[in-house]
Amino acid sequence: MRNSYIFSAALLVLASASVAGAQQKAAAPTNPAWEQTWELGFRSTTTTGDEGRYQRYEDLKSGLASRIAIGKESDAVAYDFSAANVGYNDQRFAFSYNRFGKAKFNVSFNGQPLNYAENTLTPFRDAGNNKWTLDPALRTRVQNKEAGIIGIGTTGAQYNSASIYRSIATEFPMSAQRNTLNAGLKYRVNSVATVDFKYLMSTKSGNQPWGAAFAFNDATNVPMTLDNSVNEITAGLELNRPAIGMIRAEYQGSFFKQNLPSLEFDNPLRATDFDNGKLPPNGPWDASGYSNGNGPAFGRTSMAPSSQMNSLRVVGLYKMPNHTTINGQFAIIRMTQDDDLLPWTTNTKIAQPATYAFFPGLSSLRRPTAEAQVDALNAVINFSTRPTDYFAFDMKYRFNDHDNVTPHWNGSGWT
């Protein structure tokens, strides 16, 4: 149940030409006044239950409520500024400038929360750098299989018994935040040429639920930390003669930055790495894998790696007599990713010389980084003609070459 109360006061200022009686309307002023709207108030919200359920993509906590719009327009130029929910996670700002026929500029900022829940419980503790830990004393009791101590219920008789980790679970708000900045500029150099530039930056922070499992009987969720960003750039030059055609050359770059390349999480069933005490070929590993809980003390998984894409594109259109046109585009694209590769295991008991003597391929990684690269070449050409009202002909040609030049990974000895 929720109750929301909003008290606000609005001030509206409009600039307009006055008309008295039947007097002829005056011409629009060359320097008109600003048009302004200010809405300021106070919002009070009370909730019974989980607030995250009704403000999933909003920030509706109590406080100042605001909405502002300021603008000005003449025959030659227009300005516009707006803001809403200033100071909240879903705040928005926008500004635009338009000198008609010559230049356009706009910039905007948008905050977008994702509220999973306000009352999430977790026994994990954040140790920094996306590493999540459990109390070692409790893990030891679970590993030693003390009577009445349950880490994760795995049998019907255990389903109604509380996990020992419930005693250390704490409540916290589970939410993620995406902030987006957009900017664009378009400038007309002359009657033929126009240049433009666009920039987008998107960042993600906060936490989200993430499945962390060693096996079906050893699975849990952790509040994975988010810390990544995307930067995208577009720059273009366009030449346009309506009677003849147009051509545009454009560069596009997209750059993803992952600040937390991996996720580490403690094993709720073990406090120490496991080995069966035997030598190859019977050990020190466990042939049944981790399905019986005999795994490492902690697990690790990679996050989406940092990567980038660069492309150069040319688009053109040419008009010919008899209603005939030819148009097409040509693009060269390169995608790369060169993050560090993770070690093959976190279990120090099996990552040792006895194992490497039997499986020499595990002793070192084939290479330290991904060295991933994909090159692409795309082209499409369209031809269309309609010489008479009774005859038309169209033709299209498309070419696509996708070349993955990432070095092969020899997996022999990794089984």
Residues 88-104 have pLDDT tens digits of 999 999 999 999 999 99
Whole-structure pTM over 0.85, yes or no? yes
| 299-353 pLDDT, tens digit each | 999 999 999 999 999 999 999 998 999 999 999 999 999 999 999 889 998 888 8
* DSSP secondary structure code for residue 340 in this structure: B
Classify residue 22: in a domain, yes or no: no
Residues 106 and 45 in one domain: no
- A 10 A CB-CB count for 284 gives 19
Q: Other CB atoms closer than 10 Å to residue 118's CB: what's the count?
A: 17
The answer for residues whose C-beta is within 8 angstroms of residue 208's C-beta and 6 or more apart is 114, 116, 174, 176, 223, 224, 226
Residue 411 belongs to some domain of the structure = no
- Across 40-57, average pLDDT: 86
In this prediction, residue 363 carries a pLDDT of 86
In a shared domain, residues 357 and 267: yes
Residue 86 domain-assigned?
yes
* Domain match, 65 and 108 both: no
pLDDT tier at 12, thresholds 50, 70, 90: very low
Q: Is the model's pLDDT at 21 over the cut of 50?
A: no
| Mean pLDDT on 139-162 | 81
Domain boundary among 47, 72, 100: 100
Q: Are residues 64 and 93 in the same domain?
A: yes
Q: Residue 291: pLDDT band by 50, 70, 90 thresholds?
A: confident
- On whether both 69 and 114 belong to a single domain, the answer is no
Residues 344 and 242 in one domain: yes
Q: How many domains does the chain have?
A: 2
Domain identity same for 106 and 193: yes
Residues 109 and 233 placed together within one structural domain of the fold:
yes
User: Is the model's pLDDT at 410 over the cut of 50?
Assistant: yes
Domain span holding position 362:
101-404
Residues 269-280 pLDDT 10s? 999 999 888 888
User: Residue type at 55?
Assistant: Q
